[in-house]
Structures are given as structure tokens and as C-alpha cells.
């Protein structure tokens, strides 16, 4: 049975979608069978993965609308072990309708239950903020990977995220937990420590991944080309960072068994 991880970042520009795409690609390079689910109406991971340019008739909105099955909406990618369930702006209007009922926040979880036997990991890219699709993506997951740059207010954002987790656990009866905090666009590890300023408890500090993703122009270059880092420059610092992060994720879950 697959591990379902939602990549969460509570502010725009947190590196959430970049992390979702490149972590999924990196896990696939370790020959893990991966499904990447784009839950963001902006469709960034769909576009950057290259699937946005394909003539693929269905996406997540079509599945939620009942116009396609999940299997019909899943697309192959250039990576043999990576599939994607894409999204686009039509998801925005549908999300407005679904948000009217709290029970609809579990729809994605039900969809993932139907296919989780087919993958080692299912990675969901949650929109920033606390809208319907963000909550639904977190409610669908067993684990959260928190993507964040080492900015001054990252601790405040993390505390807000903890409140969302408490809401989802209480409302939907899930066991949602934090797998780890993955820092991106780092210049050095001191940035992370300085941002703490004594505000986090020791057990929370233990959630921070040993791996950090360095600030790297290759990230923007890959985005401009609409391809993952591994296809642009797999030897770049950021690409190497995501490979190490993927390895850390795999080892953590193996150890948890």
C-alpha cells in the first residue's frame, strides 16, 4: 500500500510546487512507482512536468465532476516510474462548489483509496493558503512534507499549519502527521537555526530533514523550460538536493516499518 504524502506550504512562493515535482521525480529515479497529483488550479506541476503540453483529455476536475475515472485522467510522463494526475484552472470553479459542504473535504481521500495499491508513493501538491483544495489535499494524506524557505516568519507559518492539522484530524478522523520540514532556497544551515529563535520545541526540531535544497539558478531555468530539474541539469546543486531528500524520505519510511 502506498504512502500518501501532501506537499504543503502556507504562503505563495514557498517552493511547494517545485518541491512536489522534483521530489516525485527523484523518488521515481530510485525506481519507486509514483503518482503525482496536482491539486492546485494554477496547474504548476502539470505545466512544469511537461504533461500540460500533451493532448490529454482529462484532469482532476473531470474526475471530481464525474466525467472521467481516476485511471482515465492519469497521464504518463517522461519518467518510466512517474505518472501524473494533472490539473488546470477549471479546478478553481469546481472547488468553489465543493467547498459548500464540509463532507466534500474527504473526496480526494476517497479517490486516493481506490488507486493507492498501484503506487509506492502518491504525492499531492496542495495549493497555498487554507482554501478548499488545500484542506482536501491534506485530508487525503497520511503525511505532510512541509516545503518552506528559511524566511523570518516560517515558524509562524508552521504554527498555523499545525492548527490546520488539528482541524483535519478532528473533523475527518484521520491520523495526518508531519513527515518533515524540507527547507529550500537555502544559502547555509545557519539560516534555519536563526529563524527558530527559540520558538520551537525540541521534538519539533527533530522533524526538520537533514537535507536542505540550496538556492540554485537551475531551478528557475528548469521552470522556464517547463521541465523537471533532472531533465535540465541533474548535476545541479538543487537536483542533487532533491535526490538526497528523496533518499531520506525512503529511508525514514523503511525505518518506520
Question: What's the domain count of the chain?
Answer: 1
- Write the pLDDT tens digit of every residue in 190-208: 666 665 555 555 557 788 8
**Given phi > 0 = left and psi -120 to 50 = alpha, else beta, which region is 173?**
left
What is the Cα–Cα distance from 84 to 224, expressed in whole angstroms? 20
What is the Cα–Cα distance from 80 to 78, expressed in whole angstroms? 6
pLDDT interval class at 64 (50, 70, 90): very high
The model carries a pTM of 0.93
Length of the chain counted residue by residue: 257
Among 37-46, 133-142, 198-207, whose mean pLDDT is lowest?
198-207
**pLDDT above 90: residue 151:** no
Among 64-73, 127-136, 222-231, whose mean pLDDT is lowest?
127-136
Range of the domain at 146: 3-256
Q: What is the CATH number of the domain that holds 98?
A: 3.40.50.300
Question: Residue 240: helix, strand or coil by DSSP?
Answer: helix
**pLDDT above 80: residue 69:** yes
**pLDDT above 70: residue 127:** yes
For 96-125, give the DSSP string.
HHHTT-GGGGGHHHHHHHHHGGG-SEEEEE
Amino acid at each position: 500500500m502506498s504512502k500518501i504524502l501532501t506537499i504543503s506550504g502556507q504562503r505563495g512562493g514557498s517552493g511547494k510546487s517545485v518541491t512536489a515535482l522534483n521530489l516525485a521525480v527523484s523518488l521515481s529515479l530510485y525506481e519507486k512507482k509514483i503518482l503525482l497529483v496536482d491539486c492546485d488550479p494554477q496547474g504548476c506541476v502539470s505545466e512544469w512536468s511537461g504533461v500540460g503540453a500533451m493532448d490529454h483529455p482529462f484532469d482532476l476536475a473531470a474526475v471530481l465532476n464525474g466525467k472521467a475515472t481516476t485511471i482515465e485522467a492519469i497521464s504518463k510522463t517522461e519518467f518510466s516510474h512517474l505518472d501524473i494526475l494533472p490539473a488546470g484552472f477549471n479546478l478553481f470553479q469546481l472547488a468553489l462548489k465543493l467547498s459548500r459542504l464540509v463532507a466534500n473535504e474527504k473526496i480526494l481521500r476517497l479517490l486516493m483509496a481506490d488507486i493507492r495499491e498501484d503506487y509506492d508513493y502518491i504525492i499531492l501538491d496542495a495549493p497555498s493558503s487554507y482554501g478548499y483544495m488545500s484542506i482536501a489535499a491534506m485530508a487525503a494524506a497520511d503525511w505532510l512534507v512541509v516545503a518552506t524557505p528559511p524566511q523570518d516568519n516560517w515558524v509562524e507559518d508552521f504554527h498555523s499549519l499545525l492548527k490546520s492539522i488539528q482541524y483535519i484530524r478532528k473533523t475527518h478522523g484521520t491520523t495526518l502527521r508531519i513527515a518533515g520540514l524540507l527547507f529550500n532556497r537555502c544559502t547555509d544551515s545557519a539560516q534555519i537555526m536563526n529563524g527558530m529563535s527559540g520558538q520551537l520545541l525540541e521534538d519539533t526540531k527533530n522533524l526538520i530533514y537533514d537535507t536542505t535544497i540550496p538556492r540554485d539558478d537551475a531551478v528557475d531555468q528548469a521552470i522556464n523550460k517547463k521541465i523537471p530539474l533532472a531533465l535540465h541539469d541533474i548535476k545541479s546543486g538543487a537536483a542533487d538536493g532533491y535526490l538526497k531528500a528523496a533518499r531520506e524520505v525512503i529511508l525514514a519510511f523503511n525505518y518506520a516499518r
